[in-house]
Amino acid sequence: MSALYSMTGYASVRGSVREDLGFTLTMKSVNHRFLDLQMRMPSYCDGLEIQLRRILKENLRRGHVDVTLQMERQASAEVRLNSGLLGAYMQAFREAAGLYGLSSQPDLSAMLRIPGVMSAEGGLSAEDISALETAVLAQVMPLVEKLNEVRAHEGAALTAEMRSSMLRLRAFADEMAGLRNGVREVQFERLRVRLAELTQGIAVNEERVLAEAAVLAEKSDIEEEIVRLRTHIDRFLSMLDAGGELGKRLDFLLQELNREANTMLSKTSAATGTNSLRITEIGLEMKAEIEKVREQVQNIE
C-alpha cells in the first residue's frame, strides 16, 4: 500500500554557500487540478530555476507549489563590489579619453553608481552562483521528502474521513435495500386501486391490468441502483487501500455515486408511505455525504 498524499503542505530547509552566505529554500503547496510551479528566486538564478523545475516535475504530480529561495548574508557581506565590471568601465573610459585627446580621469563615485558595479543583493560572482546552485540542488530532495511527510500525514487524515463516509453510505444503502420491498408493494397496491377506480363499470382483463401495474411498479424499483451503489462504494474503499495518485479517479467515481443517488430520489419521488419518505431522507443524506467526500477529494494528489 502506497501513501495517499494531500496537496496541502509546507516545508523549509536552510543551507550555506560559504561562511558569510547562506540561503533558505521553502515549498508551500495547495490543491490544484494540475502541477503548477511558481518560483520566487533572485534574478541571477535562472539556470537554477530550470533545474529545480525539472526535479520537481519528476517528484510531484499535482498542486499549486510556491518555491521560494531567500539569500541570507552577514552584515559584513551586505555590499559587494563587482571589480571585473568596474575595471571594464574604467578601461573603456581611458580608451575613450585617449581617442579624443582628453586628459580627464574617471569619476569613481559616478562609476560606483553604475548598475551592477556595487550591489547588496545581486552581486554574486560566477563562482558564488555556481556554488549556490550546487548547494541548493543538494537540498531539493530532502526538502521534497519533508514536504511529502507533511502531505502524507494530511492525506492519512483525509483517507480516514473518506473511509468513514463510505461506510456511512454503505449503511444507507443497506437500510434502503430493506425498505425498497415495502415501497414496491405500496406502489403496486396504489396502482391497482387507482386502475380499478378508473375502470369501474368497464369490462377489462384484470390480469392485463395487474400486469401493466406490475410494469409501472417495476420501473420505480431501485434494486439496480442499490447494487451499483454498493459496487461503487467497495471500489472506492479498495482504491483507498491501494493508495497512490487517486485524486482524479476518486472524483470520477464520486460522480457515479451521485448519479445513483439522484436516480433513486427520482424513482421514489412519487411514492407514498412511511418507507418512501425515509428513502427520500436517506437519498438526501447520501447526496450530502457524497458532496462532503468530493470536497475532500479535491485536495488529494
What is the rounded distance in angstroms from the CA atom of residue 268 to the CA atom of residue 187? 10
Per the structure block, which three cell numbers stand in for 43?
A: 534574478
Residue type, 295: E
Cα of first residue to Cα of last residue in the chain, in angstroms, is 16
Say what the alpha-carbon torsion angle 56, 57, 63, 68 is, to the nearest 10 degrees: 30
Q: What is the CATH number of domain 154-297?
A: 1.20.140
Q: What pLDDT tens digit does each residue of the chain (301 aa) get?
A: 577 889 999 999 999 988 888 999 999 999 988 899 999 998 889 999 999 999 999 999 889 999 999 988 765 445 677 888 888 888 888 888 888 888 888 888 888 888 777 765 545 778 888 999 999 999 999 999 999 999 999 999 999 999 999 999 999 999 888 876 656 666 666 666 666 666 676 665 666 656 655 555 555 567 888 899 999 999 999 999 888 888 889 999 999 999 998 888 887 765 555 667 787 888 889 999 999 999 999 888 8
3-state secondary structure 243-266: CCCCHHHHHHHHHHHHHHHHHHHH
DSSP 8-state class, residue 22 = E
Topology (CATH) of 9-77+124-152: Ribosomal Protein S5; domain 2 (3.30.230)
Q: Where are the domains of the chain?
A: 9-77+124-152, 80-118, 154-297
Contact between 275 and 186 under an 8 Å Cβ cutoff? The reply is yes
Beta bridge partners of 36: 64
In this predicted structure, what is the pLDDT of residue 278?
Answer: 81
In this predicted structure, what is the pLDDT of residue 122?
Answer: 46
Per the structure block, which three cell numbers stand in for 52?
A: 529545480
Q: What angle do CA 75, 77, 80 make, to 5 degrees?
A: 135
Do the domains at 9-77+124-152 and 154-297 have one common CATH topology? no
**What is the residue-wise DSSP string for 58-107?**
HH--SEEEEEEEEEEE-GGGSSEE-HHHHHHHHHHHHHHHHHTT------
